[in-house]
Amino acid sequence: MALLSSTKGMEIVKKHITLKKVKTGFGHDLCGAFAEFYLDGKKMGYFNDDGWGGETDIVFDSDTHQKTFETFLTKNNVAQIMFENGWEFLRTVSKINLHDQAEEIINSAINLKEEEKAENKVQKACEKGIYYKSGSSYKGITFKIPLKAILLRKEGLEFIQGQYDKMKASLKNGEYIVNKNLEELGIRI
């Protein structure tokens, strides 16, 4: 996703685009996606990638909604951001049409929502373990009881600290521990 590769693109998506009724993982290639999309809180229409190849459908609620969305894309230089982050193969920014821009920004919002869902799932798992991110996957150790319960046991803090230290020492370049709950439990980071 070209927009998510740039700070400005990421800010545009997070600040202006919201989604409702998001469904993903369907169709022939399991990459289908559906979402109602909103610009600054106002519903613009729906996005449908049926997951069977071919063009995606971006259906606006009205011609006015479409014009509003296209004006937003143009004013925020979405085509330029895309061009600078992976679309330079077209050799000129003017070849990035408004449909491609709309598709890119909506797909970026869907990907952010999916990443947020995955992050929430991992943080829930972190209640019972210590996890790290390696590439696009998460790895770690899980305990039968929550970390907070381990702390109640004699030498529980030392045990968790030892596990954390061992994991931290084994991390490779680019890997990092994802737990957000360790410091509040008394673990030295």
Can you tell me the distance from the alpha carbon of 141 to that of 53, in angstroms, rounded to the nearest whole number?
39
Task: Please write the tens of the pLDDT for every residue from 7-16.
Answer: 888 889 999 9
| Tokens of residue 8, six digits | 């400005």
Highest mean pLDDT among 21-25, 117-121, 143-147: 143-147
d(CA 86, CA 89): 7
Q: Is the pLDDT of residue 4 over 80?
A: no
Residues 7-46 have pLDDT tens digits of: 888 889 999 999 999 999 888 878 899 999 999 999 999 9
What confidence category does residue 139 fall into, taking pLDDT thresholds of 50, 70 and 90? very high
CA atoms of 28 and 7, how far apart (whole Å):
33
pTM for this structure?
Answer: 0.77
